[in-house]
């Protein structure tokens, strides 16, 4: 009788080799298939397929009853009795929705980021899931790209730190634990660099830049133990990632030693034909399996084509076995051979109400959300607000529970979102007065409305207020006139920052801008609460708003968290993980750009320097920037030595002081500038940060240790080296406001 041999369970390699030895070619190919379970799919058909050994795992099925039925089919009805695994996009929370990636990154708080992933894993595993397609660690420097929202920003160091924290959170001490899920880092590789920020476009990039800037986060996730990799949809220097043997074999397997499972993105193998590198489906399947795509997601090509390809000898049995071993290895690592029902549990224990609040982690979500917000402006200390005030709350995002969740909000339900309106009302109850008017639709552009409606397949996302815009504005203005202060919640709807939602403009849509202009004309203090999934062009807003809080899409507890910040119950500490350009024409605007021969010099806007002559140069808000309700100063940098020996370390110290009147927290950032090297190096690079909380008047000395490793980069031969010479250490509160000192590497 063919089946996994429990006597070999203690030895992963022997166990899997024994299993593979018993499998037919058809059963092997079945393991390489990852199928999306849609709500309307006939259950009997799925069970039949699984029992016949034609499916290795599923995604998009998050209900115990369904997953148990499928697992029963696999382990009780199929010949080989190999368990299935159940995957899902658990990207920023599961039932409890945390802030989107950019928000998590804005916290610069690794234990907090890890906690968000841990909670997501606890909830997802309790819903019978074994694997997530996350973390998404694509570096993005072009905010036109809609998936910028999902990632953690522009900086390889920060994103790598977050990648590690997320993997630790999802997988816990081991992906085999009942309350852990396996992480599959995505999208391998370079998806964030699609040309022009247009989704699915090509990526053409020098190897040096790949190694230096774009690849480190994937490697960090793998080093942290991510059991899976999802392969990107884009091509890389002419070869689609899904057919790219250099990427999948030379880099991922040989150079990085990845031993887990590689899954394609949705339909990516079929798309090889449209990329124009495969004549037909047969050739696409051949290219993908040879490159090392272990599992095909949501297409039928492996099922249809691999048998013939093996028979003709074009694909060897060893190539099939290699992928089968990776899939079975991942299942082993998820603990499924020890117990296929590890996360499914017994029917008697199934939750009565999947959406019960008791299954959620609201306190965690609120804590993470309030730490994810970035105070961009606060003129004349407009914030914090008094709870006893009369506040006019306006804007299409003030009471928008679905938008609040952001895109890829997994099993989150909009009914569980606390909107800003609710959060403020609760905070002000019995104290002040909260007036509310919607004021404008997110957009009135019919083409965009149609697009957003198209994206919205399971909820009514874009509910347009049918009133004439002028009437809506008039209502809001009348309300503003009765108030002490106006809070306007404006930005993007969640569908505007999503997969395939690339934009050609970064401004706040015209309908909302018109509202803001009318509110400004009332002369009342104007506080903007921004909700958006990418850096926006905020030139008008920064000039006209009295205060501006970037809240991203802040999740299930967003309304409470924003109210905490607006009323000063929490003093904001978030810092931008991505630069905000002044205009779309400045893109790419990233702080760590390579040096040039004629750099623009502030205050000397002369000709023949690298600049745009029509507007001020540099970002509107730099990387690392974020205000607080208190003030901090950073002292001059003192170095323990002006010379660093190979293998040694020097200490860089600064004293940070809270010079304001409130307790506050800030992220103190360490940048390094390589003064001269064998290749052009960035103007500076983040190499460390520390979060510090200080009482009013309190000072603390922070120490950053710098070693040779912190000075390393990839040279023209792609060797990771630290070259001798001078370096500048910069320490400060953002990428521009820094103190500096120099040392020499011997
Ligand atoms: C996305 C992936 C996602 C997959 C499965 C694709 O469209 O690019 O990020 O994991 O769908 O839902």
Is 265 assigned a catalytic role?
yes
Of all protein residues, the one whose alpha carbon is nearest to atom 2 of ligand 1 is 265
Find the 136 Cα to ligand 1 centroid distance in Å. Answer: 10
Q: What is the CA radius of gyration of the chain?
A: 27
The answer to whether 553 and 99 have CB atoms below 8 angstroms apart is yes
Token reading at 307: 């048998």
Residue with tokens 């290219």: 287
Our mutation pick for probing the ligand 1 site, out of 36, 87, 89, 181, counting the most ligand atoms within 8 A of Cβ, is 89
Q: Is the CB of 265 under 6 A from ligand 1?
A: yes
Find the 265 Cα to ligand 1 centroid distance in Å. Answer: 6
From the CA of 233, give the closest atom in ligand 1.
8
Find the 411 Cα to ligand 1 centroid distance in Å. Answer: 15
Our mutation pick for probing the ligand 1 site, out of 61, 133, 241, counting the most ligand atoms within 8 A of Cβ, is 133
Q: Is the CB of 89 under 6 A from ligand 1?
A: yes
Q: What is the number of alpha carbons within 13 Å of residue 302 lying toward its C-beta?
A: 34
- Rounded Cα distance between 485 and 202, Å, is 47
Q: Is the CB of 133 under 6 A from ligand 1?
A: yes
| C-alpha closest to that of 179 among 110, 128, 113, 116 | 128
- Rounded Cα distance between 586 and 600, Å, is 14
Q: What's the full length of the chain, in residues?
A: 746
Q: Is the CB of 123 under 6 A from ligand 1?
A: no
Of all protein residues, the one whose alpha carbon is nearest to atom 5 of ligand 1 is 266
> Where do runs of H (alpha helix) occur along 35-90?
43-51, 64-72
Q: Is the CB of 266 under 6 A from ligand 1?
A: yes
| C-alpha closest to that of 265 among 160, 147, 184 | 184
Q: Is the CB of 499 under 6 A from ligand 1?
A: yes
Taking the chain (746 residues) in runs of 10, the rounded mean pLDDT of each run is: 91 98 98 93 93 97 96 98 98 98 98 98 98 98 98 98 99 98 98 98 98 98 98 98 98 98 98 98 98 96 98 98 98 98 97 92 98 98 98 98 94 95 98 98 93 71 86 98 98 95 97 98 98 98 98 98 98 98 96 96 79 92 98 98 97 98 98 98 98 98 98 98 98 98 98
Find the 241 Cα to ligand 1 centroid distance in Å. Answer: 15
Of all protein residues, the one whose alpha carbon is nearest to atom 4 of ligand 1 is 266
- Rounded Cα distance between 232 and 227, Å, is 17
pLDDT of residue 79: 98
Neighbours of 384 (CB within 10 A): 19
Of all protein residues, the one whose alpha carbon is nearest to atom 7 of ligand 1 is 266
User: Quick check: pTM over 0.75?
Assistant: yes
Of all protein residues, the one whose alpha carbon is nearest to atom 6 of ligand 1 is 266
Find the 413 Cα to ligand 1 centroid distance in Å. Answer: 19
From the CA of 230, give the closest atom in ligand 1.
10
Q: Under DSSP, is residue 85 helix (H, G, I), strand (E, B) or coil?
A: strand
Q: What is the number of alpha carbons within 13 Å of residue 268 lying toward its C-beta?
A: 31
Find the 499 Cα to ligand 1 centroid distance in Å. Answer: 8
How distant, in Å, are the alpha carbons of 213, 397, 532 from that of 459?
38, 16, 19
Find the 347 Cα to ligand 1 centroid distance in Å. Answer: 30
Our mutation pick for probing the ligand 1 site, out of 499, 500, 502, counting the most ligand atoms within 8 A of Cβ, is 499
C-alpha of 303 from chain center: 32
From the CA of 60, give the closest atom in ligand 1.
12
Q: Is the CB of 191 under 6 A from ligand 1?
A: no
510 burial level (CB within 10 Å; 0-12, 13-18, 19+): middle
Token reading at 291: 């490159």
Q: Is the CB of 54 under 6 A from ligand 1?
A: no
Find the 408 Cα to ligand 1 centroid distance in Å. Answer: 9
pLDDT digits (tens, 9 = 90+) for 492-527: 999 999 999 999 999 999 999 999 999 999 999 999
C-alpha of 145 from chain center: 13
The answer to whether 286 and 309 have CB atoms below 8 angstroms apart is yes
pLDDT of residue 510: 98
Q: Is the CB of 138 under 6 A from ligand 1?
A: no
Q: Is the CB of 377 under 6 A from ligand 1?
A: no
pLDDT of residue 458: 57
Q: Is the CB of 436 under 6 A from ligand 1?
A: no
Our mutation pick for probing the ligand 1 site, out of 149, 266, 298, counting the most ligand atoms within 8 A of Cβ, is 266
pLDDT of residue 450: 87
Q: Is the CB of 186 under 6 A from ligand 1?
A: yes
Of all protein residues, the one whose alpha carbon is nearest to atom 8 of ligand 1 is 265
Q: Which residues pair with residue 486 across a beta bridge?
A: 392, 526
pLDDT of residue 703: 98
Q: Is the CB of 88 under 6 A from ligand 1?
A: no
| C-alpha closest to that of 66 among 40, 29, 90 | 40
DSSP output for 189-247: TTGGG-GGG-TT--B---HHHIIIIISHHHHHHHHTT--EEEEPSSEETTEEGGG-HII
pLDDT digits (tens, 9 = 90+) for 556-568: 999 999 999 999 9
Of all protein residues, the one whose alpha carbon is nearest to atom 12 of ligand 1 is 89
Element spanning 182, H or E: strand 182-188
- Please, what is the angle between helix 510-521 and helix 469-482, to 10°? 30
- Rounded Cα distance between 543 and 592, Å, is 26
Instruction: For 654, list phi and psi in degrees, rounded to 5.
Output: -135, 155
pLDDT of residue 41: 86
- Rounded Cα distance between 106 and 695, Å, is 22
- Rounded Cα distance between 242 and 244, Å, is 6
pLDDT digits (tens, 9 = 90+) for 297-312: 998 999 999 999 999 9
The answer to whether 554 and 565 have CB atoms below 8 angstroms apart is no
C-alpha of 566 from chain center: 25
Find the 97 Cα to ligand 1 centroid distance in Å. Answer: 18
Q: Is the CB of 218 under 6 A from ligand 1?
A: no
Q: Under DSSP, is residue 283 helix (H, G, I), strand (E, B) or coil?
A: helix
How distant, in Å, are the alpha carbons of 108, 365, 572 from that of 665?
11, 19, 8
- Please report the beta strands in 385-523, taking only residues with DSSP state E, as ranges in sequence order: 390-394, 433-437, 485-491
Find the 584 Cα to ligand 1 centroid distance in Å. Answer: 27
Token reading at 72: 């029963």
The answer to whether 152 and 174 have CB atoms below 8 angstroms apart is no
End-to-end CA distance of the chain: give it in Å, rounded: 67
- Per the residue annotation, which of 127, 265, 294, 299 is the catalytic one? 265
C-alpha of 279 from chain center: 35
Q: Is the CB of 322 under 6 A from ligand 1?
A: no
């Amino acid at each position: 009788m063919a089946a996994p041999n429990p006597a070999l369970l203690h030895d992963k390699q022997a166990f899997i080799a024994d299993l593979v030895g018993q499998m037919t070619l058809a059963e092997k190919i079945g393991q390489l298939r990852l199928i999306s379970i849609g709500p309307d799919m006939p259950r009997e058909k799925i069970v039949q397929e699984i029992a016949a050994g034609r499916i290795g795992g599923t995604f998009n099925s998050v209900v115990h009853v369904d997953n148990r039925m499928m697992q029963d089919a696999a382990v009780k009805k199929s010949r080989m009795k190999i368990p299935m695994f159940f995957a899902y996009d658990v990207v920023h929370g599961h039932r409890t929705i945390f802030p989107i990636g950019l928000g998590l990154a804005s916290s610069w708080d690794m234990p907090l980021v890890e906690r968000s992933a841990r909670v997501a894993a606890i909830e997802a595993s309790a819903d019978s899931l074994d694997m997530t397609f996350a973390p998404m660690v694509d570096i993005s420097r072009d905010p036109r790209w809609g998936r910028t929202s999902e990632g953690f920003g522009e900086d390889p160091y920060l994103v790598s730190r977050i990648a590690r924290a997320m993997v630790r959170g999802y997988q816990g001490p081991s992906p085999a634990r009942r309350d852990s899920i396996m992480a599959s880092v995505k999208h391998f590789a370079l998806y964030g660099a699609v040309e022009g920020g247009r989704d699915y476009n090509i990526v053409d990039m020098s190897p040096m830049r790949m190694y230096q800037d774009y690849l480190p986060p994937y490697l960090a996730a793998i080093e942290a133990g991510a059991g899976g990799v999802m392969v990107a949809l884009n091509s890389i220097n002419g070869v689609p990632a899904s057919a790219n043997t250099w990427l999948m074999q030379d880099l991922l397997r040989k150079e990085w030693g990845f031993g887990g499972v590689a899954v394609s993105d949705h339909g990516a193998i079929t798309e090889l034909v449209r990329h124009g590198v495969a004549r037909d489906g047969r050739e696409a399947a051949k290219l993908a399996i040879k490159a090392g795509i272990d599992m095909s997601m949501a297409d039928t090509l492996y099922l249809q084509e691999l048998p013939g390809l093996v028979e003709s000898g074009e694909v060897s049995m060893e190539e099939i076995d290699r992928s089968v071993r990776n899939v079975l290895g991942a299942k082993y690592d998820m603990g499924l051979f020890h117990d296929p029902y590890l996360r499914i549990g017994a029917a008697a224990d199934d939750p009565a109400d999947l959406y019960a609040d008791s299954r959620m982690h609201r306190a965690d979500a609120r804590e993470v959300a309030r730490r994810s917000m970035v105070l961009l402006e606060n003129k004349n200390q407009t914030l914090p607000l008094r709870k006893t005030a009369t506040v006019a709350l306006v804007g299409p995002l003030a009471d928008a529970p679905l938008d609040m969740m952001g895109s890829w909000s997994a099993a989150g339900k909009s009914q569980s979102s606390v909107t800003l309106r609710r959060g403020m009302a609760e905070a002000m109850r019995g104290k002040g007065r909260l007036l509310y008017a919607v004021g404008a639709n997110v957009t009135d552009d019919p083409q965009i409305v149609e697009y957003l409606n198209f994206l919205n397949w399971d909820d009514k996302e874009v509910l347009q207020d049918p009133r004439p815009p002028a009437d809506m504005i008039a209502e809001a203005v009348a309300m503003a006139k009765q108030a002490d202060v106006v809070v306007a919640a404006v930005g993007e709807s969640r569908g505007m920052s999503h997969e395939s939602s690339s934009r050609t403009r970064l401004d706040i849509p015209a309908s909302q801008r018109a509202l803001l202009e009318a509110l400004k004309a009332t002369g009342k203090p104007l506080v903007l609460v921004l909700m958006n999934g990418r850096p926006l062009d905020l030139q008008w807003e920064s000039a006209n708003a009295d205060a501006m809080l970037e809240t991203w899409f802040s999740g299930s507890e967003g309304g409470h968290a924003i109210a905490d910040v607006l009323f000063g119950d929490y003093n904001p500490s978030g810092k931008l993980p991505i630069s905000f350009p002044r205009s779309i024409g400045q893109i790419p605007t990233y702080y760590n750009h390579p040096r040039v021969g004629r750099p623009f010099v502030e205050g000397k806007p002369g000709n023949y320097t690298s600049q745009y002559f029509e507007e001020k140069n540099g970002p509107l808000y730099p990387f690392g920037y974020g205000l607080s309700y208190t003030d901090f100063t950073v002292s001059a940098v003192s170095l323990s030595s002006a010379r660093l020996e190979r293998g040694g370390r020097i200490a860089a110290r600064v004293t940070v002081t809270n010079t304001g009147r409130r307790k506050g927290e800030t992220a103190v950032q360490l940048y390094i500038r390589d003064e001269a090297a064998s290749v052009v190096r960035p103007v500076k690079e983040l190499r460390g940060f520390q979060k510090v909380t200080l009482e009013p008047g309190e000072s603390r000395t922070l120490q950053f240790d710098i070693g040779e490793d912190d000075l390393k980069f990839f040279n023209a031969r792609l060797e990771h080296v630290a070259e001798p010479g001078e370096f500048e250490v910069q320490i400060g509160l953002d990428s521009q406001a820094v103190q500096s000192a120099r040392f020499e590497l011997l």
